[in-house]
Amino acid sequence: MESVIPPLWPGPGLHLHRAYDEAVYVLDGTVTFTLDGVEHLCPAGSCVFMPRGVSHGFSNPSTEPARILPVVTPDALRLVEELFQLERVGQVNVAAGLEHAAVDPEAVAALYGRYDSDLVEG
Protein backbone atom coordinates (compact mmCIF):
# COMPACT_ATOMS: atom_id res chain seq x y z
CA MET A 1 0.00 0.00 0.00
CA GLU A 2 1.52 3.29 -1.05
CA SER A 3 1.03 6.08 1.51
CA VAL A 4 1.64 9.80 1.65
CA ILE A 5 2.91 11.08 5.00
CA PRO A 6 1.85 14.68 5.63
CA PRO A 7 4.45 17.34 6.41
CA LEU A 8 5.56 17.46 10.05
CA TRP A 9 3.44 14.41 10.92
CA PRO A 10 4.58 12.97 14.28
CA GLY A 11 3.74 9.40 13.28
CA PRO A 12 1.81 6.57 14.89
CA GLY A 13 3.96 6.34 18.01
CA LEU A 14 6.25 3.53 19.01
CA HIS A 15 4.74 0.07 18.69
CA LEU A 16 5.69 -3.52 17.97
CA HIS A 17 4.14 -6.50 16.28
CA ARG A 18 4.52 -9.99 17.70
CA ALA A 19 3.26 -11.89 14.65
CA TYR A 20 4.70 -10.16 11.59
CA ASP A 21 7.59 -8.18 10.13
CA GLU A 22 7.37 -4.94 8.14
CA ALA A 23 9.50 -3.34 5.44
CA VAL A 24 9.11 0.21 4.15
CA TYR A 25 10.59 1.81 1.04
CA VAL A 26 10.90 5.59 1.09
CA LEU A 27 9.80 6.72 -2.38
CA ASP A 28 9.89 10.52 -1.96
CA GLY A 29 10.98 12.87 0.79
CA THR A 30 12.69 11.94 4.04
CA VAL A 31 11.21 9.85 6.83
CA THR A 32 12.56 9.35 10.34
CA PHE A 33 12.31 5.75 11.53
CA THR A 34 12.89 4.82 15.17
CA LEU A 35 14.00 1.23 15.74
CA ASP A 36 14.59 0.05 19.32
CA GLY A 37 15.07 3.66 20.42
CA VAL A 38 17.52 4.66 17.67
CA GLU A 39 16.42 7.26 15.11
CA HIS A 40 17.38 6.85 11.45
CA LEU A 41 16.83 9.67 8.96
CA CYS A 42 15.97 7.89 5.70
CA PRO A 43 15.86 9.75 2.37
CA ALA A 44 14.15 8.59 -0.82
CA GLY A 45 15.60 5.28 -1.97
CA SER A 46 15.97 3.90 1.57
CA CYS A 47 14.48 0.62 2.68
CA VAL A 48 13.86 -0.08 6.37
CA PHE A 49 13.16 -3.55 7.78
CA MET A 50 11.33 -3.81 11.11
CA PRO A 51 11.38 -7.37 12.43
CA ARG A 52 8.62 -8.66 14.69
CA GLY A 53 9.22 -7.85 18.35
CA VAL A 54 11.25 -4.69 17.63
CA SER A 55 9.74 -1.42 18.80
CA HIS A 56 9.43 1.01 15.93
CA GLY A 57 7.73 4.14 14.69
CA PHE A 58 8.13 6.72 11.97
CA SER A 59 7.47 10.38 11.31
CA ASN A 60 7.90 13.02 8.65
CA PRO A 61 10.16 15.79 10.01
CA SER A 62 10.01 17.79 6.78
CA THR A 63 7.74 20.62 5.70
CA GLU A 64 7.17 18.62 2.50
CA PRO A 65 5.08 15.44 2.15
CA ALA A 66 6.87 12.11 1.99
CA ARG A 67 5.73 9.02 0.10
CA ILE A 68 6.36 5.48 1.32
CA LEU A 69 5.63 1.95 0.16
CA PRO A 70 5.13 -0.35 3.16
CA VAL A 71 5.30 -4.09 2.51
CA VAL A 72 3.08 -5.73 5.11
CA THR A 73 0.82 -8.70 5.77
CA PRO A 74 -2.97 -8.41 5.39
CA ASP A 75 -3.38 -8.13 9.19
CA ALA A 76 -1.01 -5.16 9.30
CA LEU A 77 -2.98 -3.50 6.53
CA ARG A 78 -6.25 -4.03 8.44
CA LEU A 79 -4.66 -2.55 11.58
CA VAL A 80 -3.65 0.61 9.67
CA GLU A 81 -7.09 0.92 8.06
CA GLU A 82 -8.83 0.63 11.44
CA LEU A 83 -6.42 3.15 13.02
CA PHE A 84 -7.29 5.65 10.27
CA GLN A 85 -10.99 5.02 10.97
CA LEU A 86 -10.48 5.80 14.68
CA GLU A 87 -8.63 8.98 13.72
CA ARG A 88 -11.45 10.07 11.37
CA VAL A 89 -14.06 9.51 14.11
CA GLY A 90 -11.93 11.54 16.53
CA GLN A 91 -11.61 14.41 14.04
CA VAL A 92 -15.39 14.46 13.54
CA ASN A 93 -15.93 14.54 17.31
CA VAL A 94 -13.50 17.45 17.76
CA ALA A 95 -15.10 19.35 14.88
CA ALA A 96 -18.48 18.82 16.54
CA GLY A 97 -17.15 20.46 19.71
CA LEU A 98 -17.14 17.36 21.88
CA GLU A 99 -14.74 17.72 24.79
CA HIS A 100 -12.76 14.51 24.64
CA ALA A 101 -9.54 13.43 22.99
CA ALA A 102 -9.51 13.20 19.21
CA VAL A 103 -8.57 9.53 19.47
CA ASP A 104 -9.38 7.46 22.54
CA PRO A 105 -6.05 5.97 23.75
CA GLU A 106 -7.81 2.93 25.21
CA ALA A 107 -9.50 2.21 21.87
CA VAL A 108 -6.13 2.47 20.10
CA ALA A 109 -4.46 0.11 22.60
CA ALA A 110 -7.32 -2.38 22.25
CA LEU A 111 -7.07 -2.22 18.46
CA TYR A 112 -3.33 -2.95 18.55
CA GLY A 113 -4.03 -5.88 20.89
CA ARG A 114 -6.54 -7.40 18.44
CA TYR A 115 -3.75 -7.49 15.84
CA ASP A 116 -1.16 -9.11 18.13
CA SER A 117 0.64 -5.78 18.52
CA ASP A 118 1.41 -3.39 21.39
CA LEU A 119 1.99 0.30 21.88
CA VAL A 120 5.37 0.96 23.48
CA GLU A 121 6.10 3.73 25.96
CA GLY A 122 8.44 6.33 24.45
pLDDT, residue 107, reads 85
Contacts of 95 (CB under 8 A, 6+ apart): none
pLDDT of residue 97 exceeding 80, the answer is no
| Alpha carbon 25 to chain centroid, angstroms | 14
Considering the domain 1-72 in this protein, what is its CATH number?
A: 2.60.120.10
Question: Cβ distance 5 to 68 under 8 Å?
Answer: yes
pLDDT score, position 102 = 60
Look up residue 15 and give its amino acid: H
Q: How many CB atoms lie within 10 A of CB 21?
A: 15
* Range(s) of the chain covered by CATH 2.60.120.10: 1-72
pTM of the full structure = 0.79
- What is d(CA 63, CA 69) in angstroms, rounded to the nearest whole number? 20
Q: What is the pLDDT of residues 12-46, one digit of tens each?
A: 889 999 999 999 999 999 999 999 999 999 999 99
pLDDT band at residue 54 under the 50/70/90 scheme: very high
Q: Please provide the average confidence, as pLDDT, over all residues in the chain.
A: 86
